Amino acid sequence: MELRHLHQKVGLTFVMVTHDQDEALAMADRVLVMRDGKVVQDGSTEDLYDRPATPYVAGFVGSTNLFSSSVAAGRVDCFGQELTLPTNLASRANGLFGFRPEKAHFLSPDENSAETKAGNILRGTVEEVFYHGSIARIVLKLAHGTILLELQNKYISRRGGLPRLGTELAVSVAPEVIMAFDAEAAA
């Protein structure tokens, strides 16, 4: 943080090379992600995190649940369960799709949300739980694969504690948090 304050104080351009993604996101106004000596994406930290150009960038600046699927009637198959895409992605033919682990909303057994009615629910069995203090990472086994979820500490106590291994869990994934990547970008 001292370097960022110095940068703001002197008003000069700084070039910082790092392999620490958290440091890059915290320090930079603009980030260049490189792969094999080529710039893969150039943008603000928000652009890189929320709108990664490729699966590589999505994985480089955070965790992402990725799954390949064809699109039928604006819906995709996420490891054996259907998700509705946002309108701007509904006309795609197929590709690689994903969402960030913290973007899934944990549902209580009796919750009846708008996502439930829209059908953007993933149901599975808790396979692993990793407690990291401020968050818990949960591996949820779906019919044909697993996804990673993140639950902030403040919600853990509201839920009555961490989910137990082997218990059923349901999460909703709002259409607008689903990302899509072209087949060429996925290579």
pLDDT value, residue 52 = 95
Alpha-carbon gap, residue 56 to 3, rounded angstroms: 28
Domain ranges of the chain: 1-62
- DSSP state string for 83-152: EEPPGGGTT--EEEEEE-GGGSEEEPTT---HHHHHT-EEEEEEEEEEE-SSEEEEEEEETTEEEEEEEE
Alpha-carbon gap, residue 25 to 56, rounded angstroms: 16
pLDDT value, residue 11 = 74
Q: What is the pTM of this model?
A: 0.84
Beta bridge partners of 97: 67, 180
Pairing state between β 31-35 and 75-78: unpaired
Beta bridge partners of 77: 82
**Cβ atoms 71, 93 nearer than 8 A:** yes
pLDDT tens string, the chain, 187 residues long: the values are 677 677 678 877 777 787 777 777 777 888 889 999 999 999 999 999 999 999 999 998 889 999 999 999 999 999 999 999 999 988 887 889 999 999 999 887 666 455 555 579 999 999 999 999 889 999 999 999 999 999 988 888 777 889 999 999 999 999 999 999 986 555 5
